[in-house]
Amino acid sequence: MTQHFDVIVIGAGPAGLHAALASAREGASVALLDDNPRAGGQIWRQGPRGLQQAPLRTVLAELNLRGNVSRFPSTRVVAPLAPRGLLVESAEQGGVCITYTRLILATGARERLLPFAGWTLPGVTGAGALQALIKGGMPVRGERVVIAGSGPLLIAALATARAAGARVLAVVEQAPAAHVARFGASLLREPAKLRQAISMTRGFAGVQYWTSSMVEAARGEGRVQQVTILRGEHRVTLDCERVACGFGLVPNVTLAQALGCAIDEKGGIVVDGAQHTSVDGVFAAGECTGVGGAELAAVEGELAGLAASGATRDCSALHAQRARWRRFAASVETAFALQPAARTPPADDTLLCRCEDVSVGEVRVFNSWRDAKLHTRCGMGACQGKVCGTAANVYFGWPPAAPRPPFSPAQIGTLMAAGAQRPRAE
């Protein structure tokens, strides 16, 4: 039987949790979906022991008291259904059709991976992926780790790895030292962020922090054993057991694109002052509208939840907070913008699409992502171009192709549910 909710929230990170809570407070029936078994998203991710950060613990405590909130953990959206419906697949329930009066997209962001020689070796991950693996229980105690790429996520990965007992040898940042220094000075305007940065880095004690630097290659027999770093015209080779390399985040807009929401030039969902998208009845909040951190995501989520539930209260204080954290996000974006070295494609024999074993050289001869995909199968593997399509956008300026459902591998029974259960119009 199709289930109907006043508000469906996709994503249980800071934005989604605050959106669900705001709508529930207004009396709306709310469904909160997330593809992880536990709420929190990447920023507040819970480990296998269920340890919760204080902000997550607070919002979950109130959500758990609300009888009008239905939680759907380990649930993925497979496809949108008209009118105002979603086909979802749950680990517990299988394929289910749900409908909504209002939909809030809080789908977060994905890590941007840029290929280099050896990036497919076991032991090479994204910086955010290393965090997720450690929080999920992967042991790294005593391992030598190199963290590379760009942005504050590298510092978060450093803190997580060191707390788990890893020996972080170096943090390799592609941004110039002057940009990083200006950003550091700007933290004086946000004392809480400054204290957080100091706590995470511990002054970089025992860690090399190299700016204007890039990972050139990873090597090893069976798994990564060495990494070579290009520092200007000089190369440095380090022995290590893990390399974590991520070049910031990109908004996750797959469902938004499928629904027809307008996307801005930076890849985020376009929203108005109430977090409403260009599609009637659809709102968006958090990093899917532009990467800005947990504080901004939480404020946007609350605004979206209030608007979606029809609340008429004064939101001027929330608007002021949103403006503040958007300014901070803009300073991060400016400081860690990708430099020419990061935007330059690697050697032609470097794999671009690791799902279908397609190299950079095979792809660069085409004029568009569509042509490259048709001729080489680039982007047609398990990740459906989420990794290689993002890299191709950086290297060749190609806009990503519009997604087609199903958005992830789904059971036949789930796809059959879409025909067996037709969502009713509201």
Query: Domains of the chain by range and CATH?
Result: 3-110+250-313 (3.50.50.60), 113-247 (3.50.50.60), 345-392 (no CATH)
Residue 199: predicted pLDDT: 76
Residue 425 has pLDDT above 60, yes or no: no
List the single range of 11-25, 38-52, 200-214, 302-316 with lowest mean pLDDT.
38-52
Reported as a pLDDT band with limits 50, 70 and 90, residue 421 is low
Residue 48: predicted pLDDT: 60
Residue 153: predicted pLDDT: 93
Per residue in 91-141, pLDDT (tens digit) is 888 889 999 999 999 999 999 999 999 999 999 999 999 999 998 899 999
Average pLDDT over residues 161-178: 95
- Identity at 114, one-letter amino acid code: L
30 close to 20: Cβ distance less than 8 angstroms: yes
Query: Any residues with CB less than 8 A from the CB of 172 and at least 6 apart, and which?
Result: 146, 147, 148, 149, 210, 213, 214, 215, 229, 245
Residue 180 has pLDDT above 80, yes or no: yes
Residue found under tokens 């520092």: 231
Residue 50: predicted pLDDT: 53
Percent of the chain scoring above 70 in pLDDT: 96
What is the pTM for the complete model shown?
A: 0.92
Compute the distance between CA of residue 164 and CA of residue 156 in angstroms, rounded to an integer: 13
Reported as a pLDDT band with limits 50, 70 and 90, residue 422 is low
Reported as a pLDDT band with limits 50, 70 and 90, residue 401 is confident
DSSP single-letter state for residue 269 = B
Tell me the chain's radius of gyration from C-alpha atoms.
Answer: 22
User: What rounded mean pLDDT belongs to the chain?
Assistant: 92
Average pLDDT over residues 187-196: 83
Reported as a pLDDT band with limits 50, 70 and 90, residue 232 is confident
DSSP β-ladder status, 234-239 and 226-231: antiparallel
Reported as a pLDDT band with limits 50, 70 and 90, residue 405 is confident
Return the beta strands (E) in 185-248 as ranges.
Answer: 208-210, 213-219, 226-231, 234-239, 242-247
Per residue in 278-292, pLDDT (tens digit) is 999 999 999 999 999
Compute the distance between CA of residue 39 and CA of residue 42 in angstroms, rounded to an integer: 9
* Cβ neighbours of 287 (radius 10 Å): 30
Per residue in 348-396, pLDDT (tens digit) is 999 999 999 999 999 999 999 999 999 999 998 888 889 999 999 999 9
User: Encoding tokens for residue 322?
Assistant: 């949103």
